[in-house]
Amino acid sequence: MFFCLIFLLNQLQVSPDSSILEASSEPIDSLISAISPPTEVVAFDIPNDRGGAIRVEWTPSSEDSIISRYEIFRAEGEEYKSIGTAMWGSNKYEDKDVTNGKEYNYKVRAIVAGIGDVYMDSEIAGPVISSAQWFHRGRWNALILGMIVCCLSLLYIWKAKRGEPLFIRKISGLEAVDDAVGRATEMGRPILYLTGLMDMSDISTIASLSILKRVANRAAFYNTPLIVPAYDPIVMSAAQEIVKQAHLEIGRPDTYDESRIFFLTSSQFGYAAGVDGIILREKPGAIFLQGYFFAESLILAETGASVGAIQIAGTPATSQLPFFVASCDYTLIGEEMYAASSYLSREPTLLGSIKGEDYSKMIIMILIGIGVLLATLSSFGILENIASQFINWFTPV
């Protein structure tokens, strides 16, 4: 009946003070008087977040089916301002535009469908203050595992600084670095070093530059030309400083040639074509492809193989690893490249970190194995409660 009256008003274009509205005012008033405003309104700081957000919850009106929407108001002092709306049937709203440490009050307004000037306000909820939490209390598992990883790393760093020998498995690609430089020197050919197609913000580029430091040091020692065509200007500058420092460390600053470390282009296949031209003209005796590569990986590696160069590749790009494995003499796979700096320098802090990470991975693998075993047993009705608790403990909240 209520909606029929509104429909007739709209169709007849009757003003609010017309006889029809006057005739129907009594049933409309009685209907509106039967509707209650939202109740049990509470406002609270959202837990386990970085702050800046408050959640408002309420119990919908008794006649929620004829409510058009709920409008949420916020006040920092005495004046309330609308900050958003929620559809009928909703019972919560998140205010993500608050300042930590400030007090706010909230109220919720229920607006009746079709009668824009009829509404019912709830009681005021507050004051409430938003604040940031130190950590997510539903993720104790991550905190505990993180502390275990940190403690293991600190333990092995301490052991390495005391001089205790730490075993790191042999990585053939890194063992062959000196051999590759020596081979190029014996052949009277230059060395070509590629840092990949990423900028300095990428971890693979940083790992590549750490390997470049060792290659540059050996090349400077043997006075072998080192060519580094860069894909990024900032990477070029970093490579120039690394090669220059290598020459200074061995006491031969006069042999440093800055023109051999240059910016080529930031075009993917333009870079590949330019490097291929350098390979065919200079015919390097050793080529290092260390960094993040894309579709040009096989083009570069095959061209290097065609001139008889010894090639050592390394990349975290799993899609390009098969091409490097097929066309290069040695390939550093994934984290082997990241471990290169500690492997080559044997610096105690770096070695201890690698060793701590290895044992941390071992613990994680054991936990995964236990989880798989418990899940398998629970499928047969064995240790169901233990399996459920174990798996839930590792499930993000």
Residues 67-110: tens digit of each pLDDT: 777 888 888 877 888 888 888 777 888 888 888 888 889 988 87
- 58-62, 279-283, 352-356, range with greatest mean pLDDT: 279-283
Residue 157 identity (one-letter amino acid): I
- pLDDT in the model for residue 217: 93
pLDDT tens for 316-335 read 999 999 999 999 999 998 88
Q: What is the pLDDT of residue 393?
A: 80
pLDDT at 384: 83
Q: What is the identity of the amino acid at 327?
A: S
126 confidence band (pLDDT: 50, 70, 90)? confident
CB 84 within 8 A of CB 72: yes
Q: pTM of the entire structure?
A: 0.65
**CA dist., res. 292 & res. 198, Å (int):** 6
> What is the pLDDT averaged over residues 33-54?
80
Residue type present at position 150: C
Cα–Cα distance, 175 to 312 (Å, whole number): 10
Q: Which of 121-130, 202-211, 258-267 has the lowest mean pLDDT?
A: 121-130
Residue 10 burial class via C-beta count within 10 angstroms: exposed 0-12, middle 13-18, buried 19 and up: exposed
Closest CA to 197 of 264, 257, 243, 260: 264
Q: For 169-338, CATH number?
A: 3.40.50
pLDDT over threshold 80, residue 66:
no
pLDDT of the residue at 113? 64
What mean pLDDT is reported for the chain?
A: 83
DSSP string, 228-271: EEESSHHHHHHHHHHHHHHHHHTT-GGG--GGGEEE--S-HHHH
Contact of 312 with 328, CB cutoff 8 Å: yes
Whole-number pLDDT of residue 79: 83
Both tokens of residue 102? 């400030």
Q: Can you tell me the mean pLDDT for 166-180? A: 85
For the chain, the straight-line distance linking the first and the last C-alpha, in angstroms and rounded, comes to 48
**Most confident segment among 103-112, 168-177, 361-370:** 361-370
Query: What phi, psi does 288 have (nearest 5°)?
Result: -110, 120
Pairing of strands 226-230, 191-194: parallel
Regarding beta strands 103-112 and 125-129, do their DSSP bridges make them parallel or antiparallel, or are they unpaired?
antiparallel
Q: What is the mean pLDDT of residues 23-52?
A: 69
In which residue ranges of the chain is CATH 3.40.50 found?
A: 169-338
Instruction: Tell me: pLDDT of 372 over 60.
Output: yes
CA distances, 273 to each of 158, 229, 296 (Å): 48, 12, 9
pLDDT given at position 396: 65
More confident residue, 275 or 335: 275
What is the pLDDT at residue 229?
95
Residues of the chain with CATH 2.60.40.10: 37-129
Residues forming beta bridges with residue 43, ordered by sequence position: 56
CATH of domain 37-129: 2.60.40.10
What is the band of 355 on the pLDDT scale with cuts at 50, 70, 90? Answer: confident
- Summarize the confidence of residues 159-180 as an average pLDDT: 85
| pLDDT for the residue numbered 184 | 94
Q: What's the CA gap between 189 and 284, in Å, rounded?
A: 5
Question: Which H or E element spans position 140?
Answer: helix 140-161
Confidence of residue 273 (pLDDT cuts 50, 70, 90): very high
What is the percent of the chain with per-residue pLDDT over 90, rounded to a whole number? 39
Q: Is residue 63 over pLDDT 80?
A: no
Asked whether the beta carbons of 189 and 284 are under 8 A apart, the reply is yes
Q: For residue 122, what pLDDT is reported?
A: 78
What is the pLDDT, as a whole number, of residue 138?
75
Integer-rounded Cα Rg, in Å, for the chain is: 35
Residue (of 290, 291, 300) closest to 269 by Cα position: 300
Tell me what the mean pLDDT of segment 149-167 comes to. 87
pLDDT at 116 over 70: no
Whether the per-residue pLDDT at 200 is higher than 50: the answer is yes
For 119-219, list the strands marked E by DSSP: 119-121, 125-129, 191-194
The pLDDT of residue 337 is: 85
pLDDT for position 269: 94
